[in-house]
Amino acid sequence: MNRPYVIVSAAMSIDGFLDDDSDKRLTLSNAADLDRVDEVRAGVDAIAVGAGTVRADDPRLLVRSEGRRAARAASGRPASPLRVVFSPSGRLDPSARLFNSGEPVPIVYTCEAGARRGADLAAEVVAVGEDAVDLPRALADLAGRGVGRLLVEGGGLVHTAFLSSDLVDEAHLAVAPFLLGERGGARFVRPALFPQSPRRPLRLVEARPIGQIVLMVYRREFPSSYA
Ligand SMILES: NC(=O)c1ccc[n+]([C@@H]2O[C@H](COP(=O)([O-])OP(=O)(O)OC[C@H]3O[C@@H](n4cnc5c(N)ncnc54)[C@H](OP(=O)(O)O)[C@@H]3O)[C@@H](O)[C@H]2O)c1
């Protein structure tokens, strides 16, 4: 299949929540881990999130470090990767920061009806499906635009769609040292049929503490056992 190398990146509580149930965004990472994520961002061609993350967090999805932005520009790339939103409904706020923070213009992958709703966004709105977003089609479209590495930064529904469709090559999971329990919001993934099962586990390629956070990096290499 013609698609970019896909990295999923998330920070979560020990019990697998991406956020709590309040209106304010919960900080799960520390400064060193946020800097690590910035470095990963600087190394990809595109960063994608779901519409739920745009509505909840209003991210800009830019590379923050001036040095990394300058290094990208010096190598002929845009200072920040292409920004991508998955939004089957096309119901996105045109005043969201993502659509108002400069070049390159973001891409919104949606379906036919969503494309009509999203027509006013300061984005390239691309329909890849009649009623739903066809992820392989969206990924093939990104590959056609020269995207070799895609970073998927949430949220839970989008992680679930990518992982259950076996479209993830690498997962970077940062675990914060607390549980949210009844105060938990979105989860890392929703219930689904995942190919990354005990019979076909991912390969753990790195596990290291970053202060009180633990980073785990998994690859889709499917070792025959996880012992
Ligand atoms: N801790 C972290 O690392 C981290 C990172 C990111 C986000 N978050 C948190 O996660 C929460 C948001 O997560 P979420 O699960 O609610 O939302 P989400 O995954 O960001 O976005 C959900 C939206 O994606 C679209 N979508 C759903 N299924 C899809 C599919 N199969 N293909 C393509 N698009 C699809 C739909 O858009 P439409 O509604 O437009 O149809 C859906 O409403 C927020 O609380 C945010 O703070 C945390």
Residue 27 lies in a domain: yes
Quick check: is 226 in a domain?
Answer: no
List, edge to edge, every strand of the sheet that includes 124-127: 124-127, 107-110, 82-86, 46-50, 149-152, 5-12, 170-175, 213-219, 203-210
What's the gap in Å between 53 CA and the centre of ligand 1? Answer: 5
Does 159 have pLDDT greater than 80? yes
Q: Is 156 within a domain?
A: yes
pLDDT digits (tens, 9 = 90+) for 172-205: 999 999 999 999 999 999 999 999 999 999 999 9
Return the number of other C-beta atoms located less than 10 Å from residue 95's C-beta.
9
User: Which pLDDT band, with edges at 50, 70 and 90, does 227 fall under?
Assistant: low
Supply the pLDDT for residue 201.
Answer: 94
Query: Residue 227: inside a domain, yes or no?
Result: no
The domain tally of the chain equals 1
Query: Which residue's alpha carbon is nearest to atom 40 within ligand 1?
Result: 87
Range of the domain at 53: 5-219
In a domain, 102, yes or no: yes
Per-residue confidence band for 223, with pLDDT thresholds at 50, 70 and 90: low
Domain at 211, CATH number? 3.40.430.10
Residue whose entry in the numeric block shows the structure tokens 């961002």: 41
- Pocket lining for ligand 1, CB < 6 angstroms: 10-12, 18-19, 25, 28, 49-53, 56-57, 86-89, 91, 133, 135, 153-158, 161, 185-186
Residue 93 CA to ligand 1 center (angstroms) comes to: 15
Ligand 1 center from residue 160 Cα (angstroms): 9
Residue 181 within a domain = yes
Over residues 5-48, the pLDDT tens digits come to: 999 999 999 999 999 999 998 999 999 999 999 999 999 999 99
pLDDT of the residue at 66:
97
Whether residue 184 lies inside any domain: the answer is yes
- What per-residue confidence (pLDDT) applies to 118? 92
- 9-23, 83-97, 101-115, 123-137 — which is least confidently predicted? 101-115
Q: What CA–CA distance (Å, rounded) separates 187 from 197?
A: 18
Residue 224 lies in a domain: no
